Structure 1
Amino acid sequence: MVQHRPHTTVVLAMSADGKIADLVRSPARFGSGADKAHLEKQIAASDAVLFGAGTLRAYGTTLTVSHPILLQQRKTENKSLQPVHIVLSSSGNLNPDIKFFQQPVKRWLLTTTKGSNFWQGRSEFEQILVMETPTGNIDTRAVWQHLGSLEIKRLAVLGGGELVASLLESDLIDEFWLTICPLILGGTAAPTPVEGEGFLSNFAPKLQLLEVHTVEQEVFLHYRLQRSVGMDYAS
């Protein structure tokens, strides 16, 4: 059965030992200029980008499209200059004074009924999407279907690890772009691209390597999730 949901790509940079931040979860600024350009290109190719509240708290901002060629490409495709930026936060506990809320992007909040209370009637978010499971958690499957109905055809997920884990468990990820950066962070408390409870090896999601290339000291890996016949998704 074809599922009309966004084609979803996770885009992350990590250390050579698989960490996306250090042990105190500082903003991960260890990627090079080439990695930042790569990330901007992936954002520019998307109708929306999604990130968790922890990622937003760490950075306080989001990366916008600024390269003239990428802006012109979006304009030629009759798209808005910036994709929609969606924050996922069950609690809705976000600081309205951070720089993110002054950036020139459309902002949506994906949250629970409880998490939406503070933001109702405010102007920071253009849309507040509330879709819950019977247990009061965000119903990501329902949300992805709804995003598809809103003409979000390509979605880039920018972290963090808990969010990526939940999307993998719900089989909502199609591709990964992983940049391996030349440093070792270590630490059992340092976050990885996929957090959560983890997968047993026999049931772990399998990947197909689509391309690999290096730019100076960084390695860019492009993977596609392998699925059984009949599990294809509309992009």
Structure 2
Amino acid sequence: MTARPYVLLSAAMSVDGYLDDTSPDRLRLSNAEDFDRVDQVRAESDAILIGANTMRLDNPRLLVNSEERRAKRVADGKPAYPLKVTITASGDLSADLKFWHFGGAKLVITVDSAVEKVRTTLGGLADVVSVGPQMGWGLVLDELGRRGVERLMVEGGGTIHTQLMAQDLADEVHLAIAPLLVGQPKAARFLGAADFPGGSTARMRVLEVRPIGDVVLIRYAPKERS
């Protein structure tokens, strides 16, 4: 049986738990030092995953920006960039998004009913694979494992973070806490409501806490609950 990847959730959020505000412009939560840390985590990953909705809203390139880190990946026998992955059940993607036009290989994981739609939309911009009639995170991780992905970095959005945490599939969580308060109920949050393993009293193990400028990084091991 193919091993599933080690799943690392990465997010920057405000003190009150928001990933963004409701303005048209992306809220900058991290600082330059923390963006560099994220770049290092990306460089250490075999694949980076974001949801299709996050891709549509933020239009990220999702790259390893450091030339030195890309060179080290190549020296280690890896592609210069990690595999970029998105998932979609609807197949509603645009070929104009930056995600497809920067970096290395791209993969879309979808369902049977949408696979031809995605292939028609993207042409040769990405590999497209279906996991069957319905989307399931176990199926997604199995597919990535078959493709040799050992370490998966998940950069959102909140719905995906919530699902992976609720299904006890996240091995590690990196939270960069910015000294900001958003206070807008309609803004995106790191986690939504869910039945999380162990309930409200289960405490995750802390792996690390350190300041990075005015941001605080907290690393958790969510499967190690007590």
One fold, TM greater than 0.5?
yes
Shift of 1:210: 0.6
Residue 79 to residue 219, structure 1, CA distance change in 2 (3 Å)? same
1:40 aligns with 2:39: yes
1:182 aligns with 2:179: yes
Residue 117 to residue 24, structure 1, CA distance change in 2 (3 Å)? farther
User: What does residue range 11-160 of structure 1 map to in structure 2 within 5 Å?
Assistant: 11-23=10-22, 26-120=25-119, 122-125=123-126, 127-132=127-132, 136-160=133-157
Amino acid across the alignment from 1:108: L
Q: Deviations over 1:21-57 (max 9, x none)?
A: 1135753423211121111111110000000012111
Amino acid across the alignment from 1:123: G
Q: Is the 8 A contact 1:40 1:63 kept in 2?
A: no
Q: In the alignment, what sits opposite 1:199?
A: 195
Q: Deviations over 1:147-189 (max 9, x none)?
A: 1121100000000011111112322110000000111111111
For 1:143, what is the secondary structure of its paired residue? helix
Shift of 1:200: 6.4
Shift of 1:201: 8.7
Shift of 1:191: 1.4
Q: Answer with 61-70 or 210-219: which moved more.
A: 61-70
For 2:216, what is the secondary structure of its paired residue? strand
Residue 100 to residue 202, structure 1, CA distance change in 2 (3 Å)? closer
Residue 187 to residue 3, structure 1, CA distance change in 2 (3 Å)? farther
Shift of 1:217: 0.9
Which whole-Å CA distance do the structure 2 matches of 1:200 and 1:141 have between them?
Answer: 17
Q: Which structure 2 segments of 5+ residues have no match?
A: none
Q: Which structure 1 segments of 5+ residues have no match?
A: 229-235
Q: Answer with 59-68 or 105-114: which moved more.
A: 59-68
Which of 164, 168, 172 is the matching residue for 2:161?
164
Shift of 1:206: 4.0
Which whole-Å CA distance do the structure 1 matches of 2:119 and 2:196 have between them?
Answer: 41
Q: Answer with 203-212 or 216-225: which moved more.
A: 203-212
Which whole-Å CA distance do the structure 1 matches of 2:160 and 2:145 have between them?
Answer: 19
Aligned residues: 222
Which whole-Å CA distance do the structure 2 matches of 1:213 and 1:186 have between them?
Answer: 25
Which whole-Å CA distance do the structure 2 matches of 1:223 and 1:180 have between them?
Answer: 13
Residue 26 to residue 87, structure 1, CA distance change in 2 (3 Å)? farther
Which whole-Å CA distance do the structure 2 matches of 1:101 and 1:50 have between them?
Answer: 13
Which whole-Å CA distance do the structure 2 matches of 1:25 and 1:153 have between them?
Answer: 36
Amino acid across the alignment from 2:173: F
Q: Is the 8 A contact 2:4 2:145 kept in 1?
A: yes
Shift of 1:203: 2.0
Amino acid across the alignment from 2:29: F
What percentage of residue pairs aligned between the two structures are identical?
25
